[in-house]
Structure 1
Amino acid sequence: MVSFLSLPAVSARPIPTAFSLRKPLIPTPPTFHFKNHRFAVNCSFAEAGVSPNSKSNTIDVVANIKSERIVVLGGNGFVGSAICKAAVSRGIEVISLSRSGRPTNSDAWVDQVNWISGMLTILPDVFYVNWDEVLVGATAVVSTLGGFGSDEQMKRINGEANVVAVNEAKDYGIPKFILISVHDYNLPSFLLSSGYFTGKRKAESEVLAKYPNSGIVLRPGFIYGKRRVDRFVVPLDLVGEPAERILRAVENITKPLSSLPASDLLLAPPVSVDDVALAVINGVTDDDFFGIFTIDQIKEAANKVRV
């Protein structure tokens, strides 16, 4: 059976203007040609009662298909799962790569994701991933990789693991790479030299170098939403949502303070995890969306998809 999920726009050759409508048109079986997510459909319509060898007008329809298939690194995490959910709700095929594979919750969207276990296990110079199983046929890779620990651990998780993923995606010919990074909070340079930020910035540089016209770096601040931790749900939205509303309501007053060192630790609005996910979807579907995006720009991108 041929699947017609996630079909792009169909372009048709001009239909002949002179053909008879005196008898019903009976279509001959269409032929399908598949290659690299694109196919052509050729249909011939002949008048009833006319032999196949008789001259008749034909209508040829050529359908150029572009289906979206994304790979989410860390798709079982807080941000990653929101991205997976938003993508499948819009008919995008999703593969998640994470250590734990399929999440334990039973939400309906979970069944629509291909969950693969086998995260980038970071040991000295070793990355255990079967990229053939993950990247073949993908149209975009979204990385939510990141974590805390010692300086060395953060450099490897936030930086080197993402660098490996970027280069593998490039080698497999994946058109887009989207990185979830972090806002710098106007921190002084000596604080930005920690392993967490240097790792993230190293990953950003690799994305923008390998994907200068399609790489996307999202820099959210504090991300809120309902976060699952084992069997418990931590309602970060109870703090984040009202804080975002208050800070946006007074941003005209606080804007002069934004140049002060570390001021954004208090003044940068939190970002909904759903807004981050929708900004990713905008990046997947909009070829003109690339580069580095700030907190406000993430919100704008999310609103485009939401509308």
Structure 2
Amino acid sequence: MSSKRLVVCGGSGFLGSRICKYAVARGWDVTSISRSGEPKWLAITSSAAPPQWAHKVSWERADILRPATYAPLLKNADFVVHSMGILLEADYKGVLQGRESPIAGLRKAFSAAPRPGNPLERGVQTDEDQDIRPPETAAQLTYENMNRDSAVALAKEAAAANVSTFAYISAAGGAPVLPARYITTKREAESAIASGFPNMRGVFFRPPFLYDSSRPITVGMAGMTMVGKVFNDVTRGVLSGFMGAAGTKPLKVDVVAEAVVEALGDPDVKGPVEVPEIEELANKAWRKGML
């Protein structure tokens, strides 16, 4: 029996790299696509040296906003994962280089200015080599082009390559510190992919805040999020609509990664996958590993 082939767009990231790890453990042929190629390991793990499993991954460079750069890499793939996105829209390079103030960056993120509409209506899926750049800017990453349009365009290319399953890493809900458009663009991506490519199994993971000891700051933030979860439980969800992901139990990043790989291999898993189902899938994968 031939091994499955998985392509992870965003495979050099915090979650994406671990999806690659668990897929390699199953003997799958794994390709990661990102602008950096191989990860900067110290940024996502506790060591600067690549782990052993990393040598079994093909680390490819491509631009998620330019479909022509990655479309050939999807050939013969069984599964494709979109594990990319942004939390805030601030021009980080501009802020770091002093060209833009942090306040100006945050103001952009919370701006109520009109944004591009449905990618299906804007023709994101029409031309194979069309760049995904919204009309309001050519440089700044936005929720629309990163959280939504890049995923829809990737799904379009995956469908054209006859990929059987497409997994999109969405989110459990909006936190009060993030603009509403963060979660609405995630939901728009889910809807566009589900309706636009009915012949491809769509799996939409909705994880909460993710943490790992290799990123100490995430452990502290997970603790704060857990306090919100306890408060939400005690008050019987009275503020759940406002608290969003802040009122949802945080998960270790490896739990979500293992659940994603388990879902890819299970043809019965499709549609939105919420936190309880994520934990169930991870437990199922863990039990298989113990056999």
User: With structure 2 as the length reference, what TM-score do the two structures score?
Assistant: 0.69
Instruction: Please state if 1:299 is matched with 2:279.
Output: yes
Deviation at 1:200, TM superposition (A): 1.4
Structure showing greater relative contact order (alpha-carbon pairs closer than 8 Å, 6 or more residues apart): 2
Structure 1's 258 and 89: CA in aligned 2 closer, same or farther, altered over 3 A?
Answer: farther
Q: 1:177-219 CA deviation, whole Å, 9 max, x = no partner?
A: 00001112487xx953x2x223212211122221477210001
SS of 2:60's partner is strand
* Aligned residue runs from structure 1 range 168-187, under 5 A: 168-185=157-174
Q: 1 CA distance for matches of 2:245 and 2:261?
A: 27
* Aligned residue runs from structure 1 range 76-95, under 5 A: 76-95=12-31
SS of 2:50's partner is coil
Structure 1's 266 and 99: CA in aligned 2 closer, same or farther, altered over 3 A?
Answer: closer
Bigger fraction of residues in helix:
2
Aligned partners of 1:186 and 1:259 also within 8 Å: no
Q: 1 CA distance for matches of 2:153 and 2:204?
A: 16
Deviation at 1:265, TM superposition (A): 4.7
> What stretches of structure 1 of length at least 5 have no aligned partner?
1-64, 227-232
Instruction: Please state if 1:154 is matched with 2:143.
Output: yes
Instruction: Please state if 1:225 is matched with 2:212.
Output: yes
Aligned partners of 1:178 and 1:217 also within 8 Å: yes
* Aligned residue runs from structure 1 range 163-242, under 5 A: 163-185=152-174, 192=180, 194=181, 196-209=182-195, 210-211=197-198, 214-226=201-213, 234-236=215-217, 238-239=219-220
* Aligned residue runs from structure 1 range 205-284, under 5 A: 205-209=191-195, 210-211=197-198, 214-226=201-213, 234-236=215-217, 238-239=219-220, 253-254=233-234, 256-257=236-237, 260-284=240-264
SS of 2:27's partner is coil
Aligned partners of 2:3 and 2:27 also within 8 Å: no
Q: 1 CA distance for matches of 2:224 and 2:198?
A: 35
Residue 97 of structure 1: which of 24, 29, 33 is its match? 33
* Aligned residue runs from structure 1 range 33-52, under 5 A: none
User: With structure 1 as the length reference, what TM-score do the two structures score?
Assistant: 0.66
SS of 1:257's partner is coil
Q: 1 CA distance for matches of 2:278 and 2:231?
A: 17
Aligned partners of 1:224 and 1:270 also within 8 Å: yes
The AA in structure 2 aligned to 1:129 is T
SS of 1:217's partner is strand
Aligned to 2:50: 106
How big is the alpha-carbon RMSD for the aligned residues of Structure 1 and Structure 2?
A: 2.7
Aligned partners of 2:232 and 2:240 also within 8 Å: no
> What stretches of structure 2 of length at least 5 have no aligned partner?
41-48, 90-107, 110-114, 116-141
* Aligned residue runs from structure 1 range 12-91, under 5 A: 65-91=1-27
For the pair shown, the structure with the greater C-alpha radius of gyration is: 1
Q: 2 CA distance for matches of 1:135 and 1:66?
A: 17
Deviation at 1:235, TM superposition (A): 1.9
- The count of aligned residue pairs is 227
Q: 2 CA distance for matches of 1:86 and 1:207?
A: 25
SS of 1:204's partner is helix
Bigger fraction of residues in strand:
1
Aligned to 1:140: 79
Aligned partners of 1:258 and 1:264 also within 8 Å: no
Structure 1's 258 and 92: CA in aligned 2 closer, same or farther, altered over 3 A?
Answer: farther
Aligned partners of 1:243 and 1:269 also within 8 Å: no
Instruction: Please state if 1:117 is matched with 2:61.
Output: yes
